[in-house]
Amino acid sequence: MASSSLKCLSSIVVLTTFFAISLKPCSGHNNTHWNTAGITWYGDREGPGSTGGACGYGDAVAKHPYRCMVSAGGPSLFKDGKGCGACYRLKCDHPLCTKKPIKVMISDECPGCTKEAVHFDLSGKAFGALAKRGKGDQLRNLGELKVSYKRACCKHPKAKIAIHVDSGANPYYMSFAVKFANGDGNFACIEVQPAGGKYLKMEEMRSAVWRLSPGVPLKGPFNIRLTSAVSGKKIVAKGVIPEKWSPGAIYHSKVNFPVQRKQK
């Protein structure tokens, strides 16, 4: 996810947070102006595009709350991984389209999508969702279209933040993903607190990856502290990674950033 000039005060260590389906802030964007972009689609016609995309979200993109409504982004959207988790509204004016906006989240990279300044390589399901009822296959058969787009706020009002531990994590090299963070989740930093220890600052890597290599084994349970890059708000997922944690496991917290309401 995107970095910020906001800084966490903590010990400097290197931690890998493998993937953050952290949703980008609702404020600070022009939510009234529509711009032009190109779209294509990939993967199965009703599928999520990829369940192994560059953002590291895995098969979560095919499940609730995303349900395949995702997109790979060209360079200007993917931003070397800092665009992962950003949401956009798209609408299509083609005769086969409903002209009603859909919302998609950036979950993958399309390095070759450079024909336009902004390009979405949508999942098959998302591309078809632009179409009128019964016209999804006809629209997908066109292959490429122009659409209008603008930034959107991703919200999961009933979801709590989850931590997806990377399969390569171990006591000396912790890696995990922050899933389902609400729109306040553009992180300034993420910190981890091992059992009996202090909070340790994590270093952000490409594709929303953060890492921690402290040089000594860390023991759980772990608290995870997230700092918003927009509001500076901090939340703590207490004990979210248990003492006997497993690589590849997903652990659910009891917290999330507040869902921002639209200003009238």
| DSSP secondary structure, 57-119, as one string | -GGGGGSTTTTT-EEEE-HHHHGGGTTTT-EEEEE--STTB----EEEEEEEE-TT--SSSSE
Record the pTM: 0.74
Q: What's the pLDDT band for 2 if we cut at 50, 70, 90?
A: very low
pLDDT band at 18 (very low <50, low <70, confident <90, very high): very low
Contact 208, 187 (CB under 8 A): no
Whether residue 21 has pLDDT greater than 80: no
Q: Pick the more confident residue, 90 or 107.
A: 90
The answer on pLDDT for 217 being more than 60 is yes
**Distance from chain centroid for Cα 200:** 23
Higher pLDDT, 88 or 6: 88
Contacts of 259 (CB under 8 A, 6+ apart): 155, 156, 157, 182, 183
Spatial distance between the Cα atoms of 155 and 256, rounded to a whole number of angstroms? 10
More confident residue, 73 or 14: 73
Nearest alpha-carbon partner for 55 in 76, 25, 79, 26: 79
Query: pLDDT tens digits for 136-160?
Result: 999 999 999 999 999 987 766 677 8
How far is residue 77's CA from residue 71's CA, in Å, rounded to a whole number? 10
**pLDDT at residue 66 in the model:** 76
Mean pLDDT across the chain, nearest whole number?
83
What are the tens digits of pLDDT across the range 205-215?
766 667 899 99
Span 233-250, pLDDT tens digits: 899 999 999 999 999 888
* Gap between the Cα atoms of 43 and 68, Å rounded: 11
pLDDT band at 183 (very low <50, low <70, confident <90, very high): low
Alpha-carbon distance 259 to 264, whole Å? Answer: 15
Contact 155, 75 (CB under 8 A): no
Distance of CA 78 to the CA centre of its chain: 11
Tens-digit pLDDT profile for residues 225-236: 998 777 788 999
- Asked if residues 26 and 184 have their Cβ atoms less than 8 Å apart, the reply is yes
Decide if pLDDT at 6 tops 60.
Answer: no
